[in-house]
Amino acid sequence: LPADTLSQPARFGFGRAATEAEIAAVDIDVRPDGKGLPKGEGNALEGKAIYALKCGGCHGATGTEGPNDRLVVGDTTKGGARRIKAIGNYWPHATTVFDYIRRAMPFNQPGSLTDREVYSLTAFLLHANGLWDEKAVLNAKNLPKIQMPARDKFVPDDRKDGPEIR
Amino acid sequence: LPADTLSQPARFGFGRAATEAEIAAVDIDVRPDGKGLPKGEGNALEGKAIYALKCGGCHGATGTEGPNDRLVVGDTTKGGARRIKAIGNYWPHATTVFDYIRRAMPFNQPGSLTDREVYSLTAFLLHANGLWDEKAVLNAKNLPKIQMPARDKFVPDDRKDGPEIR
Amino acid sequence: ASIVLVQTASGKAFQAALTASELADDPTKIPGVPPGVLGTRSPFEKPVKTPSDTSSRTPLQDLHGMITPSDLHYERHHGGVPAIDPTKYELVIHGMVEKPMVFTLADLKRFPSVSRIAFLECSGNYRGSNDGKIRPQEICGLTSQSEWTGVALSTIFREAGVSPKATWFLAEGGDAAVMTRSVPVHKGWDDAIIAYAQNGEAIRPEQGYPVRLFLPGWEGNANVKWLRRIELADAPFMTREETSKYTEAVGGGKIRQFSFTMDARSIITYPSYPAKVEKGWIEIRGIAWSGRGKVSRVEVSTDAGKTWQIARLQEPVLDKAITAFRHLWHWDGTPTEIMSRTVDETGYVQPFLKQLLNARGGNMGYHFNPVTTWYLQGDGAVLFKA
Amino acid sequence: ASIVLVQTASGKAFQAALTASELADDPTKIPGVPPGVLGTRSPFEKPVKTPSDTSSRTPLQDLHGMITPSDLHYERHHGGVPAIDPTKYELVIHGMVEKPMVFTLADLKRFPSVSRIAFLECSGNYRGSNDGKIRPQEICGLTSQSEWTGVALSTIFREAGVSPKATWFLAEGGDAAVMTRSVPVHKGWDDAIIAYAQNGEAIRPEQGYPVRLFLPGWEGNANVKWLRRIELADAPFMTREETSKYTEAVGGGKIRQFSFTMDARSIITYPSYPAKVEKGWIEIRGIAWSGRGKVSRVEVSTDAGKTWQIARLQEPVLDKAITAFRHLWHWDGTPTEIMSRTVDETGYVQPFLKQLLNARGGNMGYHFNPVTTWYLQGDGAVLFKA
Ligand code: HEC
Ligand code: HEC
Ligand SMILES: [Ca+2]
Ligand SMILES: [Ca+2]
Ligand SMILES: [Ca+2]
Ligand SMILES: [Ca+2]
Ligand SMILES: [Ca+2]
Ligand SMILES: [Ca+2]
Ligand SMILES: [Co+2]
Ligand SMILES: [Co+2]
């Protein structure tokens, strides 16, 4: 055995302790249980206006037209329904909508939205998918409780080593 | 065993036969026994003039001054004699002088010399190293016979696998 | 190449007398370019990736062996390639740890380091074609291989004191997408690397400069680039990339999630479209890999799958690494189909497209690794068949 | 890296309101560069070779792992780098063969191919320094490692029908030096490669594009680049490069010739000049190689050679290949000397400079592979000692 594996220390002492402020500055994720959601609130009506201004150009007037990702399920009676993967039929957690919009949208101005804007856009998109009331206030308390239609569709990876094809 | 190692053919049939002319066009080497030396001849007096014109600028007026490789042993009484590696004290075969000059010199115009020029330059450099008569004609017959002082210094590699340092 | 011993007395006159095209004909007569600070690529060689808005594909059919030149490594990003100043770079680790910490790039480089040659592959790495005019680059060019060097994530876990109760961690990038993926903690204890070097030099910007997460054998997206933060937790974070994306319908209305491992795969890269071959001996060449471990065998069929023969594997065959395979074959000119399939050390056999569709309720999507079949026409042209 | 959630209603206004330096501070707020046809090197990373008139040295101290990026592969040439049109390229094989032949580049690529990762090293790869201010790049930067792919020379020998009486062959380059070396035929039957690829892509011009001879473990000069001709014979040709050059005085007035094998060697690349280190844990890193086969062991001393410890070798340890080694050490700040030595699988132990001088009658020259000692000052500065 090489000599140095014997002398590996429990800790090397490189790096430094992170301060709470440092962590807070980057700790922007939002979990399914709502952990990470900021204070504040928003609503679909406000969201609708912001959407029209900042989002519709890429996702379509009603969130179904594109050119970029379809956000709203919309009419599934027309062909291609199987390929529609929108918030209302494919997203298992409402918190992900908030998290993703805040970190990554609008695509050309990522990270530019206020928390109120993000709450309102989330409320609007949930409403457009038939999952939230147009006038209700969305906040850290009620957002995680929204039941998403796709929730029970998700199953963990069951592929294993070996010959089985899955 | 992979299946294809069984079916390796004796020949693949890729490439084509080389013609004698094709070989002759590239077969420019000269061997210690003189094989490869072209017809023709040269002499040191002619070589001296060509040297002054085309070589001296890089190897010095007498072949000892540089700036590039020292070609002539010259005065070894002054310090650094041990580091002098010139034609007269380090080259085991006279044929190499012809071969190398023809393929690679002058450095800025490689491959530009006629065979007569190369014979003459070889004669001149051998003469300058005290190994050839200034007026004698050098040709394919006598060049390989020149006894080079360094000939017996060369020994084959005797390093072996294992702990011995050589 | 041929050398002409021109009869002239003056070197200078000689060179001036030659035309430019004659000069180019005989490089033995012109001093070449002197040594430089950086090597170059021959102007006659122009390997290129094929970029879209979101990805760029490695020209597999133009490559040899197992290493991908770094500038030909495939790209897939969700907010473009950020420009990161390495002196300002910091990695934060927090959440279920004894001691939340910040590491500079210099800090990371001080820890014991580890190197390994391993593939990286996007789990969305499949395309077909109806007219057959599609190259390996389009079919599965979202895979590449490098030698990666960095610090084992387990070393960083120990330094921060990861709680034994932590089961998942969030890896977050510093790009415009602030890319996030949840990764099981066990992968961190197993073989994950916080990588800062690729093929000997600093990781390229497109691959995560200055620091990326590298998860040997796991789908590309989870190998978060431009890594800025690791948060330990006791559940996955359910980010957009592990819910809306990088999940696949598997039939019965179910969607498979956290499907990290890349299934075993291979492709014949020669002969492949658009190459044209001649009758006679042909060395069939390709690459094979598995996210589960070593490639144990590659089988090649030259009769449309009726019989299979074992290809030669180029040593060293490494864990979770692209392995070059070769199979010598004598083609009599009869139209046929050629194909390859990998068997990995766990016994997984690369499936046909039909088997995959059957197993997944008729769905295509991520983790689609079917056998690629090439149709060899009588005239030597090669077309993608399935 | 830190993210600031700026309070503003308009995306456009927001970006305009930021100054350029603030933007640079937070790449998460600006879309990055889209995917491209070729990857790039970070503008913050500028590894460079150090060129002289005749060579250019690999920055070993800046590299990680075992692969050398192709544009950082060392250079040594005798007539500059020729520009060769691959469609005009031909390789002639003649002399003691049944059938003298000509191969185009396309012909060569049709033969069964072989790949291997192996080092290449100039046998003149040694420099020292009086003031200690010399980097691994200067000391022994004339070594590099690539994955080489090509056709086994034995395959070409069989195709041309090399006579059983042939004992040497001349390898000739198509550069301005028309470089020539005599090589024993047995190396051709053993493991020589006619190589056309390097690290996955076509060989770079500086390394012999389109085709070079590759002789695993043998001195760089004999690995003739831009190979245009092979002539089989029953004696060596005694070219200038194997008489006037690439021979070494070994004492007793004798000069060693045809010394092909590169002796085992190693160097600590970290810490090395000009790095400065801190007290505490240091991972000593370096590379080791042997032209005789695999590195079997690297020993590291941190007490000026009094005691030696066995370093970890990075797998895979390959035949005639650079192997990364690492040794974890706790430095208390006392000035000391650190050094490494390779032991290869034949039992050869990398010697000290004094041993080499003793064995060679006090001469230095080609094949000089002494242990490199670094002096570690109390302030953490590192200087070359011997
Ligand atoms: C300039 C174009 C553009 C604008 C403006 C834009 N988006 Fe997007 N959006 C995209 C693109 C492109 C993606 C896909 C990104 C990816 O896959 O990495 C996307 C993805 C999304 C997704 C995820 C979709 C899915 O199915 O996974 C959501 C939600 C979203 N955008 C919401 C918004 C909202 C809300 C706004 C306005 C505040 C917005 N977008 C503005 C281009 C845009
Ligand atoms: C522009 C500079 C230049 C000119 C002109 C030049 N040489 Fe050279 N010569 C060199 C260089 C540089 C080398 C070393 C090349 C190498 O090592 O690859 C060399 C090497 C040599 C050598 C080998 C020396 C040794 O010790 O190995 C000989 C012989 C030689 N030259 C002869 C000639 C002759 C004869 C001419 C004129 C016809 C000539 N040179 C003109 C630069 C020049
Ligand atoms: Ca968090
Ligand atoms: Ca969608
Ligand atoms: Ca962002
Ligand atoms: Ca000959
Ligand atoms: Ca000399
Ligand atoms: Ca020449
Ligand atoms: Co997956
Ligand atoms: Co030698």
CA gap D36, C53 in Å, rounded: 9
Which among B14, B110, B166 has the least Cβ separation from residue D176?
Answer: B110
Q: D137 contacts in C (CB within 8 Å)?
A: none
Residue B1 maps to a domain = no
Q: Are A8 and C111 in contact (CB under 8 A)?
A: no
Q: In this structure, which ligand is nearest to the CA of A30?
A: 3
Residue A29 maps to a domain = no
* Class of residue D192 by CB neighbours under 10 A (exposed 0-12, middle 13-18, buried 19+): buried
CA of B101 to the centre of ligand 8 (A): 9
According to the model, what pLDDT value does residue B3 have?
Answer: 57
Per-residue model confidence as pLDDT tens digits over D143-165 = 999 999 999 999 999 999 999 99
According to the model, what pLDDT value does residue D386 have?
Answer: 84
Low-confidence ranges of chain A (pLDDT < 50): none
Q: C309 contacts in B (CB within 8 Å)?
A: 2-4
Residue B10 maps to a domain = no
User: Can you read off the two tokens belonging to residue D78?
Assistant: 């005798």
| Beta-carbon separation of D28 and A111 below 8 A | yes
Which among C1, C32, C89 has the least Cβ separation from residue D176?
Answer: C32
CATH of the domain at B69: 1.10.760.10
Q: Which amino acid is at A102?
A: R
Helix ranges (H only) for D90-235 are 105-110, 136-140, 153-160, 185-190
Residue B83 maps to a domain = yes
> Total domain count for chain A?
1
Interstrand relation of C90-95 and C227-233 (parallel, antiparallel or unpaired): parallel
Closest-CA residue of chain D to C52: D35
User: In tens digits, what is the pLDDT along chain C, a chain of 386 residues?
Assistant: 222 323 223 232 233 333 444 445 799 999 999 999 999 999 999 999 999 999 999 999 999 999 999 999 999 999 999 999 999 999 999 999 999 999 999 999 999 999 999 999 999 999 999 999 999 999 999 999 999 999 999 999 999 999 999 999 999 999 999 999 999 999 999 999 999 999 999 999 999 999 999 999 999 999 999 999 999 999 999 999 999 999 999 999 999 999 999 999 999 999 999 999 999 999 999 999 999 999 999 999 999 999 999 999 999 999 999 999 999 999 999 999 999 999 999 999 999 999 999 999 999 999 999 999 999 999 999 999 98
| Beta-carbon separation of D209 and C42 below 8 A | yes
**Chain C contact probe: residue of A27, A72, A151 with most C CBs at under 10 A:** A27
| Beta-carbon separation of C25 and D88 below 8 A | yes
Residue A67 maps to a domain = yes
Which among D7, D281, D311 has the least Cβ separation from residue A114?
Answer: D7
Residue B141 maps to a domain = yes
**Chain B contact probe: residue of C328, C338, C343 with most B CBs at under 10 A:** C328
Q: D346 contacts in B (CB within 8 Å)?
A: 161-162
Q: B7 contacts in C (CB within 8 Å)?
A: 328, 330
Domains parsed from chain D with CATH numbers = 1-32 (no CATH), 55-256 (3.90.420.10), 265-384 (2.60.40.650)
Closest-CA residue of chain A to D14: A112
Length of chain A (residues):
166
Assess A11–C contact: CB distance below 8 Å, yes or no.
yes
| Beta-carbon separation of A54 and D11 below 8 A | yes
CA gap D67, A40 in Å, rounded: 53
Residue B98 maps to a domain = yes
| Beta-carbon separation of C328 and B25 below 8 A | no
Closest-CA distance, A18 to chain C, in angstroms, reads: 4
Supply the range of the domain harboring residue A142: 41-153
Q: What is the torsion angle, in degrees rounded to the nearest 10, for the CA atoms of residue B29, residue B32, residue B34 and residue B38? A: 30
| Beta-carbon separation of A8 and D15 below 8 A | no
Residue A18 maps to a domain = no
| Beta-carbon separation of D112 and B8 below 8 A | yes
Assess B13–C contact: CB distance below 8 Å, yes or no.
yes
Chains A and B touch (3+ CB pairs under 8 A): no
Closest-CA distance, D362 to chain B, in angstroms, reads: 12
CA of D3 to the centre of ligand 5 (A): 9
Nearest to A118 by CA among A146, A91, A139, A149: A139
